[in-house]
Amino acid sequence: MAKIIFITPELNIATGTLRVVNLWANYLSNHTNHAITIVSNITNPSYYPFTSNVDVKQYGFNFNLRIINIPYNLIQLYRYLNSLSREETIHLIIDKSLLIEPLWILKKMRLFENINFIYFTHAGSSAFKEFYLSRSHTKHRVKMMFEAFDKVVCLFDDEKNYPTMVKEEKLLFLSNPIPFEPSSVNIEKKENIILYLGRVEKKKGIDTLLEAWALVDQSEWKLQIVGDGIEKEEFKLLAKELDILNSVEFIKSQVDVKKYYNKSKIFVLPSIFEGMPMVILEAMACKATVISSDTAGGLRLIEENQTGLLFKKGDKYELAKKINYLIRDKNQRNKLANNAYIYINKHSIKTVAPNWIPILNE
């Protein structure tokens, strides 16, 4: 039996990456003959539950974003890979860039050539330029990534001119799927709620959202912010300073998110960077009209004035204008929600799952 191993960071925090790993691990364990293992530095409890036939193991990697941890992770990765059977077919999937250098060193030593090493970027292919190569401390990882890994998986292809160090023959694409069946909710019975769901951090654009909300006609509407983060208290203070606390509700992170989408008429994702946000797919599947910043993921999933609305990252005035537009125009709001509900059928897990075949050499 072939084995698929995901090495991923902490499993006890609600992140989009963990949501994707959890979804695929459970699906592959139930619909293929592969043995699925999850390896993480923290495993108990897992925020999103794995099926009983997914083996969750703890191993001592250090995923703190510090270059000093590379030697430690090199030793840990060597020890872990050396413990694996040489007789099994193993597909090892890594989604944390701090393991790129350690694996590159091991591959230069011609070790573990029996393993199919896969890097999962959880972003579009433009991220090589926009993310890795744009930062001095990560630009070297693009070259290492394509030398060390047998395959590099992106969510979608949105790059026209690849950097020379990108080996296009190693690139494969695997879209994020909808994590649940589309909702049959009656759009007319939804409440006057504008929803944000995700980590409550500055890089998610929560300050832009709150500042935009202060410019909106809030008389009959409420903003719900569902999620946790180390900066959450700062945003509560910001809401107080903006005098909008009476129309903003902060709710702790939830595993059962569908009920929040089902109640909300509008969903806003104001992030600074997004690969292919699961929350947009989830909102569309529950007939919530989506407004997203113009990240790579937002541009990929939303066609302006057809399946949602887009605004320039960090522009509170444009976001406020788009929110006001949807508040005032019920017909357009419902049209966008219904169009998006039809669009997301292409992201059903049964439709996306066959893209695993070339990734696993099958």
| CATH at residue 60 | 3.40.50.2000
pTM above 0.95, yes or no: no
Nearest to 297 by CA among 96, 131, 122, 118: 122
pLDDT over 80 at 216, yes or no:
yes
The pLDDT assigned to 189 comes to 94
Q: Report the distance separating Cα 77 and Cα 100, nearest Å.
A: 11
The pLDDT assigned to 259 comes to 95
318 and 300 within one domain: yes
CB neighbours (10 Å) of residue 188?
7
**Cα-flanking dihedrals φ and ψ of residue 177, to 5°?**
-100, 165
Banded pLDDT at 293 (limits 50, 70, 90): very high
Banded pLDDT at 362 (limits 50, 70, 90): low
pLDDT over 80 at 272, yes or no:
yes
**Cα-flanking dihedrals φ and ψ of residue 99, to 5°?**
-95, 0
Q: Report the distance separating Cα 183 and Cα 104, nearest Å.
A: 44
Look at 11-25, 104-118, 237-251, 262-276 and tell me which has the smallest mean pLDDT. Answer: 11-25
294 within domain boundaries = yes
The percentage of residues in the chain with a pLDDT greater than 90, rounded to a whole number, is 80
354 and 324 within one domain: no
DSSP 304: B
The pLDDT assigned to 260 comes to 97
In the chain, the amino acid numbered 297 is G
Judge whether 188 and 161 are in contact, CB under 8 Å: no
Domain that holds residue 236: 187-346
List C-alpha distances in Å: 272 to 46, 229, 245, 269, 315: 27, 16, 24, 9, 11
pLDDT over 80 at 66, yes or no:
no
80-94, 123-137, 313-327: range with highest mean pLDDT: 313-327
pLDDT over 70 at 97, yes or no:
yes
The mean pLDDT value for 77-97 works out to 93
Higher pLDDT, 125 or 10: 125
25 within domain boundaries = yes
Q: Report the distance separating Cα 307 and Cα 309, nearest Å.
A: 7
Rounded to a whole number of angstroms, the CA Rg of the chain reads: 21
182 within domain boundaries = no
Residue 4: strand, helix, or coil? strand
The mean pLDDT value for 232-261 works out to 95
Q: Report the distance separating Cα 299 and Cα 308, nearest Å.
A: 10
Banded pLDDT at 84 (limits 50, 70, 90): very high
Judge whether 16 and 123 are in contact, CB under 8 Å: no
193 and 169 within one domain: no
The chain-wide mean pLDDT, for the chain, equals 93
In the chain, the amino acid numbered 290 is V
The pLDDT assigned to 358 comes to 95
146 and 17 within one domain: yes
Nearest to 90 by CA among 135, 51, 173, 34: 34
Tens of pLDDT along 146-196? Answer: 999 999 999 999 999 999 999 999 999 999 999 888 888 999 999 999 999
Residue 27: strand, helix, or coil? helix
The pLDDT assigned to 344 comes to 92
Banded pLDDT at 86 (limits 50, 70, 90): confident
287 and 308 within one domain: yes
- Total domain count for the chain? 2
130 and 202 within one domain: no
